[in-house]
Amino acid sequence: MKEKILIVEDEKDIVKMLEYNLKKEGFRTLSVHDGEDALDSANRECPDLIILDLMLPGMDGLEVCKALKKERKTASIPIIMLTAKSQESDKVIGLELGADDYVTKPFSLRELIARIKSVLRRVKEKDRLPEVLKIGEMTIDFSKIAVTVKNKAVELTAKEFELLKTLIRAKGRVLSRDYLLDNIWGFDHALEIQTRTVDVHIRTLRKKLKSESRHIVTVKNYGYRFEYED
Amino acid sequence: MKEKILIVEDEKDIVKMLEYNLKKEGFRTLSVHDGEDALDSANRECPDLIILDLMLPGMDGLEVCKALKKERKTASIPIIMLTAKSQESDKVIGLELGADDYVTKPFSLRELIARIKSVLRRVKEKDRLPEVLKIGEMTIDFSKIAVTVKNKAVELTAKEFELLKTLIRAKGRVLSRDYLLDNIWGFDHALEIQTRTVDVHIRTLRKKLKSESRHIVTVKNYGYRFEYED
DNA sequence: CTTGGGGTGAATTGTTTGTTAAAATGCATA
DNA sequence: TATGCATTTTAACAAACAATTCACCCCAAG
């Protein structure tokens, strides 16, 4: 699943550079240029992570950080601070705000990306599904990333596994192709793209799951849902 | 099980920030502001881990560390040192005195929490991993750091052994390249090293383990896992 | 009987991992 | 401090595998 990253930074060049490189790394990005927009955007878009410049016109980074941590809806979004000098980071960290990490400018792209991944990884550990799930004659082991039907291993590719996981996580709700594309493939919402990719993956998944593919139900005109009783 | 963490630090802001964030991570915390109280508290409360500032009023961190390690009751409590400068000497001394890890100020929350978890995991696993493990035709002696396949010694380098140990310890869970870098190469290094390095080490490990390399399974797009039946 | 959504198989394109060798680094010893 | 050896890391290419597109099919609803 492609994570959404909110960039809060007033220097246009840096924003452009970050957007380009983060997209290349497989993240989705959106960016704003000042503190007010940041709070706004964080609330509406629910990004998975925020990159926040300490120096901003108007409301500065520290205040934004504090405000984000205060509100319940945004409190758990991890924040990586961009600080200009390493002196400032002393204060930043010494003070009571709760940024999850900070990177000092000038920063190396590689370091920033490594830190982003690291923060996301740590956050993800918390809200994961049970390690092993049994549904009918199928077992799904999320920690081993392995699926079994009638005690025989089923080799799924990454996309197939993600698809299955997403369907299961939805607990019987119908998921549209757009939703799946957005969440597993990370295509930008602005898609009029005509693609049958989801269908093809559903097909290969069904084929591999054999009898247990009965759980994957096509809902014409809407999408797919995963059906099962506990 | 919620672990109890003792914070020994005189700066109130930092204590507040740490308490807030560690609680959010699911730890219990208690804190004291000087060395005497630290010894006292460690004795009475038996915390699972101590975060110890090097700079303290009165008795300083090094002395506290020494004192804790001397007493039988507190000797086995892991300690993470907070050091102000990144001067090597401090670190070295701290580690010599028996601190389990250190973090230099200004530190990132993420880094500190990662180290706390890593230290706790290590401690917990010490009594979970046997000294010697037999898997198929391979024996791994964790105390001697020696591996044998079909009764013939296999010479592994440090990184190779760590890699093997980490994989085995995960009991079949898939470990991502990023995770392995964080845990084997260590935090700061992991930011500079390519994930492909892991692949190369996996290869040399497989090559040396010959037939028993079958246990090391590539999970495309996710990482590697160690597969075996008890 | 027309239409559009979805199923299917195969060709094409793209991505990830395996493998190798060379460069860089670390480390002990002279 | 220089030297040689072992280990680690990088980089480049090959091989294996996965994702995507496309063309065509079927079927149910109007």
Closest chain B residue by Cα to residue A132: B173
Q: Where are the alpha helices (DSSP H) in B77-126?
A: 88-96, 109-126
| pLDDT tens column, A33-59 | 999 999 999 999 999 999 999 888 888
Closest CA of chain A from B159, distance in Å: 21
pLDDT given at position B88: 47
Give the model's pLDDT for residue A50.
Answer: 96
Query: Percent of chain A at pLDDT above 90?
Result: 52
Residue with tokens 């964030």: B21
Record the pTM.
0.83
Mean pLDDT of A125-145: 87
Tell me: pLDDT of A94 over 50.
no
Residue A190 has pLDDT above 50, yes or no: no
- Would you say B228 and B135 are in contact if contact means Cβ atoms under 8 Å apart? yes
Q: Tokens for B23?
A: 């609680």
A72 compared with B92, residue with greater pLDDT: A72
Least confident among A99-108, A165-174, B139-148: A99-108
pLDDT at res. B202: 98
- Whether any strand C atom is under 7 angstroms from the Cβ of B171: the reply reads no
Q: Annotate B68-85 with b (16+ C-beta within 10 A) or e (fewer).
A: bbeeeebeebbbbbbbee
Distance from CA of B135 to the nearest CA of A (A): 19
Query: How far in angstroms lies nucleotide D21's C1' from the CA of residue A174?
Result: 26
Tell me the CA distances in angstroms from A158 to A142, A184, A199, B222, one per residue in order. Answer: 12, 10, 16, 8
A148-165 average pLDDT score = 97
Reduced to 3 states (helix: H, G, I; strand: E, B; else coil), residue A157 is coil
Q: Are the beta carbons of B174 and A144 separated by less than 8 Å?
A: yes
Q: What is residue B127's predicted lDDT score, i.e. its pLDDT? A: 64
Segments of chain B scoring below 50 in pLDDT: 87-91
Using DSSP's 3-state secondary structure scheme, residue A5 falls into strand
**A220 beta carbon < 7 A from strand C?**
yes
Q: Higher model confidence: residue A111 or residue B138?
A: B138
* Spatial distance between the Cα atoms of A125 and B25, rounded to a whole number of angstroms: 11
Residues of A with CB under 8 A from a CB of B: 78, 86, 89-90, 92-102, 110-111, 114-115, 117-119, 121-122, 143-145, 157-158
Confidence band (pLDDT; 50, 70, 90) for A86? low
Question: For chains A and B, what is the number of CB pairs under 8 angstroms?
Answer: 75
B14, A94: Cβ pair inside 8 Å?
A: yes
Q: Can you give the distance from the CA of residue A224 to the C1' of nucleotide C4 in angstroms?
A: 18
Can you give the pLDDT at residue B31?
95
Q: Quick check: helix, strand or coil at residue A91?
A: helix
